[in-house]
Amino acid sequence: MHILCDMDFKEGEILCFDKPLHWTSFLLVNRVRWAITNYLGVKKLKVGHAGTLDPLATGVMILCTGKATKRIDEFQYQTKEYEAVLKLGATTPSFDLEKEIDATYPTEHITEELLRNVLSDFVGEIRQVPPAYSAVKINGKRAYEYARKGDDVEINAKPLLIDSIELLEFSMPIVKIRVVCSKGTYIRALARDIGVALQSGAHLVGLRRTRVGDITLDKCMSFEDFKSMIDTLPATVN
């Protein structure tokens, strides 16, 4: 639990949150910034996150305030761990539930043994093409800006490192996996690639980031808890 009374938000603090479902990363940053600036009685304060999460994902999100924003890169490059739920046999343009299913595929041939073998092929150094619905920059614009207009653009594959993939649950057509990976890994794109490798299709139906470096979920707080704690702090004198 964070002891807010001992914190100096201007000098810089590291705050660890469990991002809520449907919130964008920027919404969490903005609400935390508003809560802190309101408490401090100031108009401006640097607050940034050390690695975005999609609105449909939950879990560990590290925020840095004040001078600690200089440490954002340090956290961004740390290993990430996710628990992902995939639905096999269907795809969507966004590779998750943001868009409707656009195609279905056979799954009768998929066994637990086949899935385990396919997952093992993704461990190690891989190259991954990010989703069209992503913030990857192409010619100065975000990929999702092209996708939302229906424009097709070429997105280059990026080198990544997958440290491990563990099958947690197998209940066709739903499977759950744990992924430990490097910065820049799109679990949505990994779901797509797993579907292709299975000679079927797949999309993400649930995603939770359970670790960033040494920061695990048990070290994170909800925004509601943070707001409640900051509301109980004594007023500051500027």
The answer to whether 58 and 19 are in contact (CB under 8 A) is yes
Tell me which of 6, 8, 54, 152 is the catalytic residue: 54
Rounded Cα–Cα distance for residues 134 and 158 (Å): 14
Judge whether 152 counts as a catalytic residue: no
The residues annotated as belonging to the active site are: 54
